Structure 1
Amino acid sequence: MSTIQTQVPIIKKKFVLHEDWAVVVLGFLIILLAIGGLLLPEPDCNWQNHSALVETVLVPANLLAVFYHFLYAFGIAVLGAVLTNKSFRSILVVFPVIYMLTVVALVLAGNAQVKNLNLEAVIFALSIGLLVSNLFQLPDWFRSALSTELFVKIGLVLLGTSVIFSDILKAGSLGLIQALVVVLSVWYFAAWLCRKLKVDDELTMMISSSVSICGVSAAIATCGAINGDPKKLSYVISMVLITAIPMMIFMPYIAHYFNFPQEVTGAWLGGSIDTTGAVVASGSLVGEAALKISTIVKFSQNVLLGIAAFAISIYWTYTKKTGPDGEVTKPTLGLIWERFPKFVIGFVVASLLFSFVVPGEVNEAIKGTLKSLQGLWFVLAFTSIGLETNFKDLIQKNSRTPFYAFLLAQLFNIFITLIIAFFLFGNMEAGA
């Protein structure tokens, strides 16, 4: 009688890093490479007419810079796929497509007339992605290879390098006081209003954060903190960008009509307009003092982003007591840590690093490269959102009610910020 011996194969468990930790690793890899001297030439996407497009954007030197950025971002994306155990073959095919569509979006946004309207590259990236997704039947393997969350969170970690505490402290305490009061009051009003209008919880959190803190970046960070639906995020971002344009144009003229002091106007613009680009543009229409104060107030709100994402993640854990399978869960410290968005750690550490550790001359030398890469990852993310979204779903799943809630919250933001700006900055000119 023979004995059959069976050998159980030893299966080595493959190392897989959680996506939130992977983006911290990848973000700091980019930062350390920049500090170490790997500075990429920034592609020039700015043009006024057809001849300028050919002579500046499409010249070989600029196209080579675009190619260098592709190789760099491609390497990071491939490493991200390896760390998170995504399909290596798929990313080799999908990422070049995403990058080419993203370059088209950046070039469209670089047109002078488009810049005057303050239409940012993310809205072109989202639109192009939606067109491709709805005109062509993309295979499932292509959609599954899209790394939207990875791209967004890498951009958020890099965003921390531009939030410099010393720049904010130079303005004194007034900008920080206004930012804190505006953020708290507007956030709670927007959340209350959304609940009254029966807006779903994910959209409520994204709308409240985008209106009260810093627009696009706050919506992205909140979506990451609550692990929200990227399609809802694209809806909120569209609302932010659409409303920023008329605010940027009309608010300076309203201030001029009522003879608001420049300091008050600057604080009003910086505290209520949701995108940094629109704040700078509107502040420039008023004057130098308004531009300075508006920028400081907007930076003061930006610095609250990491704190807000941390608070939102804890709030979300305590209010959402059901797990993915519907089971009731208790909000223990372990659960809070499990649900806590780890990219916030990367954002805060990057901000502290560049505020107190990295020498000023080094920061000055590398900030252009980091800013360019930060913007690139955000635009790549919105191209990906468009590619994975059906346009009908985007319209049907999100009714007009969230848009009405957003507009009413923004109207409250405009009035409460003006009152606070007069209270804090009204006597600045007289006391100067």
Structure 2
Amino acid sequence: MLWAIVMIFVLPFASRALSLPTGVAGAWIGTSEFADAAGIAAAQAYGGFAGKFPGIAGTADQAVQAFTLVKVVGRDVWIGIWAVALAIVSTTRWERQSAGSAPDAREIWRRFPKFVLGFFITSAIVTAATASYSLAQYNTIASPGFIAPVKDLRTWCFIFCFLSIGLTTRFRDLAAAGRKPLIAFTAGVAVNVILGYVLSVHVFGWHWETLGQ
């Protein structure tokens, strides 16, 4: 949460200093940010620079679209896949080695993050419902009438979810874990930011710069 808040300010201003196109900056934010709400805020902030500061090409929509494609569609899908894989590995291998007993298959389901199923089901429903629409029909009919209410519902669910996390957080318990988790996650932040920059700007920059054109 701390790094997500920091990145809301760091990534847009770093992108501005580098004069990145809005689509490229949105992709970089998508690879580097850790929370959907924080990432959207950062992408929208940088999208607002378009047309106001010299050297920043693109539109505000490109920043948000690029972020969404990378973070929500790309990274979150992979999180679901790895969550399934790690639930199986931790139950069948790690705990079997430490406990010396046969694994319980039901433990895989208990450890599996259920929101991943909701993500896949919702994606399948939206895809099936809008498959016959052209891009123009999607933007004028499906997006305001169907997608927008779903996004509003998602936003409120996220609000109450993170509010509940905040209310149950005990900093004393977190401090008991020591500095190692913070150091490990900070190292992950550095890798994400650097690797995300290389991929978004130098490897796939041509794609994100012309997104939606």
Q: 1:307 to 1:400 in 2, by over 3 A?
A: same
Aligned residue among 106, 120, 125 for 1:353: 125
The alignment status of 1:278 with 2:38, answered yes or no, reads: yes
In the TM superposition, residue 279 of structure 1 has moved relative to its aligned partner by 1.7
Contact 2:26 2:66 in 1 (8 A): yes
CA offset digits 1:314-371 (Å, max 9, x no partner): 1212332349xx641345xxx3454232724454334323432599587447526632
Aligned residue among 61, 64, 72 for 1:291: 64
Q: Which amino acid aligns with 2:172?
A: K
CA offset digits 1:263-304 (Å, max 9, x no partner): 322211111111122222222232213232123222222233
User: Within 5 A, what are the aligned runs for 1:386-397?
Assistant: 386=169, 389=170, 391-395=171-175, 397=176
Q: Distance in 1 between matches of 2:14 and 2:123?
A: 36
1:339 — aligned with what? 108
1:114 — aligned with what? none
Q: Distance in 1 between matches of 2:66 and 2:29?
A: 9
The alignment status of 1:374 with 2:157, answered yes or no, reads: yes
Aligned residue among 293, 307, 315 for 2:89: 315
Q: Distance in 2 between matches of 1:318 and 1:329?
A: 10
Q: Which amino acid aligns with 1:319?
A: R
Q: Distance in 1 between matches of 2:20 and 2:148?
A: 38
The alignment status of 1:406 with 2:185, answered yes or no, reads: yes
Q: Distance in 2 between matches of 1:330 and 1:246?
A: 44
Identity of aligned residues (%): 25
Stretches (4+) displaced over 6 A: none
CA offset digits 1:401-429 (Å, max 9, x no partner): 21111111101110011111124432234
Q: Distance in 2 between matches of 1:284 and 1:392?
A: 35
Q: Distance in 2 between matches of 1:294 and 1:342?
A: 23
1:425 — aligned with what? 204
In the TM superposition, residue 384 of structure 1 has moved relative to its aligned partner by 5.8
In the TM superposition, residue 372 of structure 1 has moved relative to its aligned partner by 5.3
Contact 1:267 1:425 in 2 (8 A): no
The alignment status of 1:262 with 2:22, answered yes or no, reads: yes
Q: 1:290 to 1:377 in 2, by over 3 A?
A: closer
Unaligned runs of 5+ in 1: 1-240
Aligned residue among 71, 76, 88 for 1:302: 76
Q: 1:392 to 1:252 in 2, by over 3 A?
A: closer
Contact 2:91 2:107 in 1 (8 A): no
Unaligned runs of 5+ in 2: 48-59, 132-141
2:100 — aligned with what? 328
In the TM superposition, residue 249 of structure 1 has moved relative to its aligned partner by 0.9
Q: Distance in 2 between matches of 1:243 and 1:383?
A: 15
Contact 1:269 1:282 in 2 (8 A): yes
Contact 1:263 1:425 in 2 (8 A): no
Describe the SS at the equivalent of 1:406: helix
Q: Which amino acid aligns with 1:258?
A: L
CA offset digits 1:227-278 (Å, max 9, x no partner): xxxxxxxxxxxxxx11122222122222222233333222111111111222
Q: Distance in 1 between matches of 2:166 and 2:195?
A: 35
Q: 1:309 to 1:427 in 2, by over 3 A?
A: same
Describe the SS at the equivalent of 2:95: coil
Q: Which amino acid aligns with 1:320?
A: W
Q: 1:351 to 1:426 in 2, by over 3 A?
A: closer
Deviates more, 1:338-347 or 1:354-363: 354-363
TM-score by length of 2: 0.69
Q: Distance in 2 between matches of 1:406 and 1:255?
A: 23
User: Within 5 A, what are the aligned runs for 1:80-95?
Assistant: none
